[in-house]
Every structure is written in C-alpha cells, then in structure tokens.
C-alpha cells in the first residue's frame, strides 16, 4: 500500500501504539540505560582498589569478554565509539585525502571519524529492507567511477576517476542493530582492494548468517554510549582478528607510547583513547546482561509488530531470515511516499502521547560540513528518511507491555 496515512489513520495509529505500552506510565523515553546486575559491586571494587584509570583488571576482562562475544581474536576498549572508528581507520592505513565510502543514512560519527583521519567521506545509498549499504548499487557505481591504478601490498589500488583520490575503505553500518547484507560487500571490497571498517556501534549481539556482526571487517567499532544496548557511561571498542592491527590500535590509543617501565617514549602522534577501568567495570556487569536484554527487546519488537497488524503498509523494521537483530532501537517504517510533513505529524502526535519517538538522523550529505562531499544517487536513503520513526525501546518495557 502506498497511499499516505490519513489524519484519522494517524490518530488510530498513535492510539494503538500507546495502548501497547504499559498503562500506568505516562512518559516513555526513547532508550534508557538499565543497571540491574553487578554494576555497583564491580565499580565499588575499582574504588576500593584504586584502579580507576586506563589500565586494570576490568579493562582486560571486558576486552576478553567482548572478543569472545563477537567471535574475534582481539578487542581494544576505547573512550567512545567515535574514537574506536578513528583509531580503526588510522590503523588500517587511511591517510589524508583518501576516499572512504560511508552510508548517507548513518549517525554523524561514522562520517566524522573519516574526517578526523583527514580523509573524505564518499556517501552511498541504502536498501529498503535492512537500511544498510545497497551493495548492487555500489557495485554498479564503482564500475562507473573506479579506475585501477596498480597494485598495493594488500591487493589492487583503485582511484575515483572524478577526484583522483584513492578509494581506500568502506564503512558499512548496521542500522539500529539490523545487520546489513555484509558478505556481498566483503566480496566487492576485495575486488576493489578496499578495506572494510565495520561500524557495529549499534549492533552488539546481532548476527548475520549466524556470525556476530563486528567480525566481518578488517576492523570494527562498537559504542557503549548511554543510549546503547549496553553502556559503560561512555565507551567503545575496536574489534579485529589481526594481531598486527590490534597492536597498532592499542599503540595509537595509548599516546603511541613505547612500552617501558619509566621512560616517556612516543614514536608518532598518538591519542589518549583507552577506556578507564571504572568504565570497563560497568561494561563487564552490563555484558553479563546482554543476552537477557536482547530477548526482552525482541519481545518488545513483537509487541509493536502486533500493534501494527491493522495498518497495511506500516511495519516494524525487521532483520531478514539470514540475520538476527539485537533490536537495539525499534523503528516503524511508514508507507512509501510519506512526506516529511506527514512524518512530522505522526512524530508530534506520538510525542504528545508521551512516547519519545524520533526521526532518523539527517542524512550525511544534507549536513553543512559534508554538503560538498562526493556521493552517488541517494534516492533510497532520501525516501526512507521520511518514513522511519524510532520507538521507545528500553528492554524493561517488554516486561510490562501488553500485546495490543
């Protein structure tokens, strides 16, 4: 169905979604941090022992637990997800003036990290089903703009024939926890000698073809910001299977200091990006709750799905059968052809009913600092941006919500 929602339908839609959520509660934040495990105990032990800064037993444990959970050999905990993306890009060899493909439909941190590395984000379109990079469309586009320029240590080197810049890397992002179709992207990137830095900030615990997301890129980044599925207050991590990359990331994130018991020797410009032990203590406790949280969030997605049964063409964003989402942030997708005015009408009505619903991020090429960046046709992202509404998604809502 592609007709826009009528005023009456909007009223009924909002009423139905509100009715699916707990009756006694008046306000429903978009996403709240939840501390129901051993957070107090672990943080207290940091304070008792005095290990509060960038090294400590909880950092080591959190890194090992993350690596195990994500099926990779190495995890390096960082101060936030943006720092993790930046460190990963530098470690894989992105240098000034390289071009890096970034989805137009992402949170600004993905594109910012490319700019922090001195490179240029080149914006690519998304598909309608998963909201991830549209790989067939990117493949067609590369045929048009990529020109081979010799062989590098890791495969062919391609340049953008319009800008002359090296096409160095691609950064898929798993939107709201829904895995993108990453295997065809891995194949395409290999063909063009590009490295994949996966932005898995939103997708801890999601899987694609039964493999954890975050384990497909040469390096990947997670975020543990307060709004994420687990939080360390602020925090992030770089994941990789490469020992060499892991060493480089750790070095860059630790002010590029050479290991020595007392000398201050730094061999390049580094960053103070390591996660403090006190945050890692929170992370260890939060990670213990991840599986339960994902189950609850899945249940909440089911509650929204049931509520929308009577609204043809309005759907909850779902991972296809080859994948499973961590359901970090539930999203409903309005009918094709929805205008920004209509979307805003729905958003206003939901917010007035106490549901802190949000539109998707402004697309990257519409932001002033990226307005002149190279881009392909972005018509799908532009259409989807008018249709997406994020719903209250805290996992505790699933325990008290009733099926509509």
Footprint on this chain of ligand PLP (rule: CB under 6 A) = 80-82, 106-107, 109-110, 173, 199, 201-202, 223, 225, 236
CB 238 within 8 A of CB 220: yes
SS (H, E, C) 165-191: CEEEEECCECHHHCCCCHHHHHHHHHH
**Sheet (strand 323-324) strand order:** 211-212, 207-208, 323-324
CB of 325 to ligand PLP, least distance (A): 14
Closer CB to ligand PLP, 81 or 276, in the complex: 81
DSSP state of 265: -
Q: How far is the CB of 342 from ligand PLP (least distance, A)?
A: 26
CB of 326 to ligand PLP, least distance (A): 13
User: Closest residue (Cβ) to ligand PLP?
Assistant: 81
Nearer to ligand PLP, 193 or 217 (CB): 217
Q: How far is the CB of 223 from ligand PLP (least distance, A)?
A: 3
Query: From the CB of 113, what's the least distance to ligand PLP, in Å?
Result: 8
Q: Which is nearer to ligand PLP, 180 or 201 (CB)?
A: 201
Q: Which of 111, 288, 97, 297 is nearest to 199 (CA)?
A: 111
Distance CA 235, CA 52 (A): 14
Cα 345 to Cα 213: distance, rounded to the nearest angstrom: 35
Q: How far is the CB of 370 from ligand PLP (least distance, A)?
A: 15
Nearer to ligand PLP, 240 or 342 (CB): 240
Closest distance of CB 351 from ligand PLP, Å: 21
Nearer to ligand PLP, 91 or 307 (CB): 91
Q: Are 164 and 128 in contact (CB under 8 A)?
A: no
Q: How far is CA 210 from the centre of its chain?
A: 18
Helix (H) or strand (E) holding 197: strand 195-199
* 10/294 with CB nearer ligand PLP: 294
Nearest to 28 by CA among 350, 332, 301, 403: 350
- Choose between 106 and 324: whose C-beta lies nearer to ligand PLP: 106
Rounded least distance, CB 157 to ligand PLP, Å: 27
Measured from the CB atom, the residue of 193 and 236 that comes closer to ligand PLP is 236
Which among 324, 326, 319 is positioned nearest to 289, based on CA atoms? 326
Q: In terms of CB distance, is 35 or 40 closer to ligand PLP?
A: 35
Bridge pairing between strands 358-359 and 323-324:
unpaired
HEC sequence for 371-404: CCCCECCCHHHHHHHCCEEECCCCCHHHHHCCCC
Contact 177, 328 (CB under 8 A): yes
- CB of 236: closest distance to ligand PLP in angstroms? 5
* Residue 50: count of CB within 10 angstroms of its CB: 9
Q: Are 58 and 221 in contact (CB under 8 A)?
A: no
């Amino acid at each position: 169905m592609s007709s826009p929602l009528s005023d009456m339908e909007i009223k009924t839609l909002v009423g139905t979604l509100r009715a699916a959520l707990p009756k006694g509660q008046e306000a429903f934040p978009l996403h709240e941090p939840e501390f129901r495990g051993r957070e107090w105990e672990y943080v207290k032990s940091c304070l008792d022992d005095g290990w509060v800064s960038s090294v400590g037993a909880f950092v080591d444990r959190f890194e090992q637990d993350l690596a195990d959970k994500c099926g990779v050999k190495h995890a390096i905990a960082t101060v936030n997800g943006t720092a993790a993306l930046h460190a990963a890009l530098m470690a894989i060899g992105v240098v000034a003036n390289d071009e890096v493909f970034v989805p137009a439909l992402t949170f600004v941190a993905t594109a910012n990290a490319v700019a922090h590395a001195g490179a240029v984000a080149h914006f690519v379109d998304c598909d309608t089903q998963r909201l991830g990079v549209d790989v067939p469309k990117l493949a067609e586009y590369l045929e048009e703009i990529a020109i081979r320029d010799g062989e590098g240590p890791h495969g062919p080197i391609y340049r953008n024939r319009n800008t002359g810049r090296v096409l160095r890397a691609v950064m898929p992002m798993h939107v709201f926890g829904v895995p993108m179709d990453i295997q065809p992207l891995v194949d395409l990137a290999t063909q063009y000698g590009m490295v994949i830095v996966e932005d898995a900030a939103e997708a801890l615990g999601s899987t694609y073809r039964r493999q954890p997301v975050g384990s497909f890129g040469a390096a990947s980044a997670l975020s543990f910001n307060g709004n994420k599925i687990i939080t360390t207050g602020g925090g992030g991590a770089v994941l990789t299977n490469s020992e060499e990359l892991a060493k480089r990331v750790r070095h860059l994130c630790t002010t590029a200091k050479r290991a020595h018991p007392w000398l201050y020797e730094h061999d390049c410009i580094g960053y103070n990006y390591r996660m403090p032990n006190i945050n890692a203590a929170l992370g260890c406790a939060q990670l213990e709750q991840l599986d339960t949280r994902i189950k609850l969030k899945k249940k909440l997605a089911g509650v929204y799905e049931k509520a929308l049964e009577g609204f043809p063409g309005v759907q909850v964003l779902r991972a296809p059968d080859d994948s499973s989402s961590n359901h970090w942030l539930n999203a409903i997708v309005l009918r094709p052809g929805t205008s920004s005015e209509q979307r805003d009408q729905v958003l206003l009505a939901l917010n007035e009913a106490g549901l802190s619903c949000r539109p998707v991020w402004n697309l990257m090429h519409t932001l002033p600092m990226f307005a002149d960046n190279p881009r392909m046709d972005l018509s799908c992202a532009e259409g989807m941006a008018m249709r997406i509404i994020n719903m209250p998604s805290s996992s505790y809502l699933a325990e008290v919500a009733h099926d509509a």
